[in-house]
């Protein structure tokens, strides 16, 4: 009943948050049109303003405060949760051959789902491009809001850190945390002794679980309402209308992959009935949509995957944190369509070879995308630079994407987290690590 109640509360919060956000968006438009911008500024300062922004010293930003405190509470435990979960998982796997199999199956499934997503995105992007829908007017948008990219292969250098303290002091080095945790867990496993560090990790992990249950159950629905209301309220219609073709295309593509792709993977790769998976993963998708952060969604995803989908904790504790870092199906799909959109706006010709190169760049770049809100659109510049889409027109189109991409990024996160869970389920099924009674059990 509690699980069902939480899912209902989160779904209701999402619906109410969207409705409230749209109402405030319309109110903003009406006030702006009637030259009552001061009235909107007062409402914005009271409810939605980012109080850390320059010039916001007098703002209250109630919705911003509630949402940010909730996200901060989730991000607080990311590093210790990933570290302790993986160390414990490594300690419990006595068969090193099994660990090798799990790793290979996990990476293989990640690559398969991402490549299929890229192929799908390429087909969709090319179709819309040839229909002429991406020939969007973007004049007047400043190109200065663009961001410089970096070589996506830099992610490989971050796997093995040169300073352990810097890794544990930031949420941006999760892949390094995974590497350290695997090494520590395997080393403890190799000693064949009752390790004090292992017991400490188990106790810390238990404390984290209790903390997360309290935060998610008590404050999750309220925070989701505030996050969604604020997201839609702060974007005016003027930002959303010009690139409606891009938004509609990418949102439909993402929804199709989310609602059709992953259930098919569960059915044919996992050999399981996808209906229980769909029913139980909904709240994780809603949560990912609300927070727009794979990292913030990890605690709930881990809990749902183990307790409701029946995936063995050892496998889920390895696959999900790794997936949060390297499995970015939604990000890859968005980046391919966005790159084609920029090319269309800037007048570049798109061929099959161009799409292939964009796909390869998106694959590498998506792996290196941080699990944080808005990161996918920033990393997109890496792909545009690699393709040579750096003209003024291309930069203006890219700036437009940065301006309107928040709703898209929210849906992208839903795909990323659902993809992580489906992979954990598929890998666990191949290792006889799924409790099918729990998986098939209806949520009461």
Domain spans in the chain, listed from the N-terminal domain onward: 2-70, 96-175+236-440
Please name which of 394, 403, 396, 384 lies closest in space to residue 149, comparing C-alpha atoms.
Answer: 384
Confidence of residue 68 (pLDDT cuts 50, 70, 90): confident
Cα–Cα distances in angstroms (integers) from residue 101 to residues 138, 256, 319, 336, in the given order? 49, 31, 12, 31
Contact 334, 254 (CB under 8 A): yes
d(C-alpha 82, C-alpha 185), whole Å: 12
Please name which of 211, 232, 229, 367 lies closest in space to residue 300, comparing C-alpha atoms.
Answer: 211
Burial classification of residue 369, based on how many CB atoms lie within 10 Å of its CB (0-12 exposed, 13-18 middle, 19 or more buried):
buried
DSSP 8-state secondary structure symbol assigned to residue 431: T
How high is the pLDDT of residue 419? Answer: 94
How high is the pLDDT of residue 148? Answer: 42
Mean pLDDT of 298-310: 90
Instruction: Please check the confidence at residue 21 and state whether its pLDDT lies above 70.
Output: yes
Instruction: Please check the confidence at residue 311 and state whether its pLDDT lies above 90.
Output: yes
How high is the pLDDT of residue 145? Answer: 40
How high is the pLDDT of residue 345? Answer: 80
How high is the pLDDT of residue 1? Answer: 45
As a whole number of Å, the CA-based R_g of the chain is 22
Instruction: Please check the confidence at residue 82 and state whether its pLDDT lies above 80.
Output: no
For the chain, what is the total number of helices (H) and then of strands (E)? 21, 0
d(C-alpha 220, C-alpha 225), whole Å: 9
d(C-alpha 147, C-alpha 88), whole Å: 39
Q: Each residue of 314-348: pLDDT tens digit? A: 889 888 888 887 788 888 899 899 889 888 888 88
Tell me what percent of the residues of the chain surpass a pLDDT of 90.
20
Listed range (77-81, 166-170, 415-419) with the worst mean pLDDT? 77-81
d(C-alpha 406, C-alpha 292), whole Å: 8
d(C-alpha 385, C-alpha 151), whole Å: 10
Q: What is the pTM of this model?
A: 0.69
How high is the pLDDT of residue 369? Answer: 57
d(C-alpha 285, C-alpha 297), whole Å: 9
d(C-alpha 163, C-alpha 145), whole Å: 33
Contact 417, 438 (CB under 8 A): no
Query: Which two three-digit tokens encode residue 307?
Result: 């307790």
Instruction: Please check the confidence at residue 238 and state whether its pLDDT lies above 60.
Output: no
CATH of domain 96-175+236-440: 1.10.3860.10
Question: What mean pLDDT value characterizes the chain?
Answer: 81
């Amino acid at each position: 009943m509690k699980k069902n109640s939480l899912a209902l509360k989160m779904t209701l919060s999402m619906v109410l948050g969207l409705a409230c956000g749209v109402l405030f968006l319309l109110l903003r438009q009406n006030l702006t049109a009637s030259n009552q911008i001061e009235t909107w500024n007062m409402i914005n300062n009271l409810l939605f303003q980012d109080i850390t922004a320059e010039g916001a010293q007098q703002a209250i930003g109630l919705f911003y405060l509630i949402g940010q405190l909730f996200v901060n509470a989730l991000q607080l435990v990311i590093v210790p949760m990933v570290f302790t979960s993986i160390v414990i998982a490594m300690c419990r796997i006595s068969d090193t051959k099994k660990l090798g199999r799990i790793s290979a199956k996990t990476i293989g499934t990640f690559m398969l789902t991402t490549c299929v997503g890229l192929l799908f995105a390429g087909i969709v992007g090319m179709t819309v491009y040839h229909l002429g829908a991406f020939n969007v007017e973007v004049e007047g948008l400043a190109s200065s809001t663009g961001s410089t990219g970096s070589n996506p292969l830099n992610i490989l250098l971050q796997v093995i850190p040169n300073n352990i303290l810097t890794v544990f002091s930031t949420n941006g080095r999760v892949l390094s945390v995974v590497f350290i945790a695997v090494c520590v867990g395997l080393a403890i496993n190799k000693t064949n002794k009752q390790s004090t560090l292992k017991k400490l990790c188990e106790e810390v992990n238990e404390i984290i679980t209790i903390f997360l249950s309290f935060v998610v159950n008590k404050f999750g629905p309220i925070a989701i309402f505030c996050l969604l209301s604020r997201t839609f309220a702060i974007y005016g219609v003027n930002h959303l209308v010009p690139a409606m073709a891009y938004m509609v295309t990418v949102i439909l593509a993402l929804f199709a992959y989310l609602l059709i792709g992953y259930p098919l993977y569960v059915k044919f790769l996992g050999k399981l009935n996808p209906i229980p998976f769909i029913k139980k993963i909904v709240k994780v998708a809603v949560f990912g949509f609300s927070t727009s952060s794979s990292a913030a969604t990890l605690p709930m995803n881990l809990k749902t995957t183990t307790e409701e989908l029946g995936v063995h904790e050892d496998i889920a504790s390895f696959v999900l944190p790794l997936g949060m870092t390297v499995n970015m199906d939604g990000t890859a799909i968005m980046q391919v369509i966005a790159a084609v959109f920029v090319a269309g706006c800037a007048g570049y010709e798109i061929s099959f070879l161009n799409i292939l190169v964009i796909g390869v760049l998106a694959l590498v770049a998506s792996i290196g995308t941080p699990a944080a809100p808005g990161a996918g659109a920033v990393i997109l510049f890496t792909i545009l630079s690699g393709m040579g889409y750096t003209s003024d027109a291309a930069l203006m189109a890219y700036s437009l994407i940065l301006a309107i991409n928040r709703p898209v990024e929210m849906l992208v996160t839903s795909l990323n987290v659902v993809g992580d869970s489906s992979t954990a389920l598929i890998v666990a099924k191949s290792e006889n690590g799924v409790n099918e009674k729990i998986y098939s059990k209806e949520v009461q």
